[in-house]
């Protein structure tokens, strides 16, 4: 596809010019309801981006949302099928295992049971599990049922 070629060329140019590529595509705008989180075209794009980075002796890290939707137990947008397709080409996955709670659902930021379930949903077998990096928040927010929003913990 032309878009994929343009994206890969743009990524390659940024890597060559600056030595670093940080991108945060808004995946939710790309997702099609009838498809998985990473439709074939998206897997192809990520594959080419990773190959371009590796050719430049750089590391390809893909930031992914939690495999289990916080508070619901439902599967997230990125599941094991997507993980299995991309694991051979992505060097590491930064799993967003934080922000479990929020103003509408007070509680811990990253309960251990939920973090563990997110990892096991993606990699029930240990073959690719070493590629998962846990995103851990280092900020303290207190979400309480009586307060609207959050306040910093000092």
Kindly state whether residue 89 falls inside one of the protein's structural domains. yes
Alpha helices (H) in the chain, listed in sequence order: 2-18, 27-30, 40-55, 80-86, 112-122
Separation of alpha carbons 129 and 132, rounded Å: 6
What global pTM score does this model have?
A: 0.73
Kindly state whether residue 153 falls inside one of the protein's structural domains. no
Phi and psi torsions of 151, nearest 5°: -130, 145
Kindly state whether residue 34 falls inside one of the protein's structural domains. yes
pLDDT in tens, the chain (154 residues): 444 455 556 666 666 665 555 554 544 444 444 444 446 777 888 888 888 888 888 888 898 989 998 888 898 888 898 899 999 999 999 999 887 887 777 778 888 999 999 999 999 988 999 999 998 877 766 666 555 555 555 5
Closest CA to 91 of 124, 116, 128, 38: 128
Separation of alpha carbons 71 and 84, rounded Å: 25
Kindly state whether residue 147 falls inside one of the protein's structural domains. no
- Would you state the pLDDT for residue 140? 67
- Would you state the pLDDT for residue 88? 95
Kindly state whether residue 146 falls inside one of the protein's structural domains. no
Torsion over CA of 123, 128, 130 and 131, rounded to 10 degrees? Answer: -100
- Would you state the pLDDT for residue 144? 63
Q: Is 92 helix (H, G, I), strand (E, B) or coil?
A: strand
Tokens of 95: 């799993």
Domain range for 94 is: 2-136
Q: Judging by beta carbons within 10 Å of its beta carbon (0-12, 13-18, 19+), is residue 44 exposed, middle or buried?
A: middle
Structural domains of the chain, count = 1
Kindly state whether residue 113 falls inside one of the protein's structural domains. yes
């Amino acid at each position: 596809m032309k878009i994929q070629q343009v994206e890969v060329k743009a990524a390659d140019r940024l890597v060559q010019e600056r030595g670093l590529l940080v991108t945060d595509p808004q995946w939710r705008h790309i997702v099609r309801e009838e498809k998985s989180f990473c439709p074939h075209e998206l897997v192809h794009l990520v594959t080419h981006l990773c190959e371009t980075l590796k050719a430049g002796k750089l590391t390809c890290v893909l930031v992914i949302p939690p495999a289990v939707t916080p508070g619901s137990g439902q599967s997230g947008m990125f599941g094991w099928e997507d993980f299995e397709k991309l694991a051979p080409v992505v060097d590491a996955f930064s799993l967003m295992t934080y922000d479990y709670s929020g103003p509408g659902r007070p509680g811990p930021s990253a309960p251990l049971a939920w973090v563990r379930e997110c990892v096991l949903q993606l990699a029930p077998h240990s073959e690719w599990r070493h590629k998962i990096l846990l995103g851990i928040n280092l900020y303290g927010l207190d979400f309480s049922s009586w307060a609207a929003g959050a306040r910093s913990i000092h």
